[in-house]
Amino acid sequence: MNTVITGASKGIGKAIALKFASQGHNLALCARNVSDLNLLKKEINTQYPNIKVFIKSIDISKPNELRAFGADVISEFGEVDALINNGGVFFSGNVLEEEEGVLAAQIETNLYSAYHLSREIVPVMIRKGSGHVFNMCSIASQIAYPNGGSYTISKFALLGFSKVLREELKDKGIKVTSILPGATWSASWSGVDLPHERLMEAEDIADTVWAAYALGPSAVVEEIVIRPQLGDL
């Protein structure tokens, strides 16, 4: 079994990579920081020596780099069983006050990356007649909140993309699941002065993704909302 994960070097992406490796999946992982990717590959190879790990440093906001990554994945593995569009970026601010280009930057990374990589990988799943696409959305895909600005716009759009993909692929044996987590410990929250238990653990999100993936072929979880026990921040 082969799984592709974007934004895989830290936080939720890393937790998902370790979870799927523990279940016997070979991995194709991308992120910007090659040092972090190498450390993760070493960690996975140490814990799970039989797992094949392909890594590549790319900027997921660049369509040409995504297409090259997708082509490399297909060359390495031939078939793909799960695509997890996890990579993203967050810039806080208000729509009327944020700098020019902030919306474009977040749309390119949070939405277009999933769009372009899905167009590379999903045709391989269609030929096989099975597969699962996960799009890492957000609570911000449902609710506009103060200082969410263009990030919220990009996440609303990603949920819309996910719904469209679900409709297009449901008769082709391909599942599509939208994951909408609330505040989760990751690089975006580093340095925040909050009790550790106030945010969710990345491993909880990874366990949830795996649970949705592990369902039988006749069932699909279309959308999962996961919040901290004490609610949104």
Q: What string of DSSP letters covers 109-129?
A: IIIIHHHHHHHHHHHHHHHHT
Of 24, 77, 66, nearest to 47 (Cα)? 24
pLDDT at 90: 82
Considering only residues 198 and 120, tell me which one the structure prediction assigns the higher pLDDT: 120
Q: Give residue limits of the domains in the chain.
A: 2-226
Find the helix packing angle between 113-128 and 63-77, rounded to 10°: 30
Mind listing the pLDDT tens digit for each residue in 15-24?
999 999 999 9
Mind listing the pLDDT tens digit for each residue in 55-89?
999 999 999 999 999 999 999 999 999 999 999 98
Has this prediction a pTM greater than 0.85? yes
pLDDT at 203 over 80: yes
pLDDT at 182: 87
pLDDT at 52 over 70: yes
Are the beta carbons of 79 and 25 closer than 8 angstroms?
no
Q: Report the relative pairing of strands 223-226 and 174-181 from DSSP bridges.
A: parallel
Residue written as token pair 């990374």? 109
Residue 146 CB-density burial (10 A; 0-12 exposed, 13-18 middle, 19+ buried): exposed
pLDDT at 191: 64
- Return the CATH number of 2-226, one of 3.40.640.10, 3.40.109.10, 3.40.50.1580, 3.40.50.720: 3.40.50.720
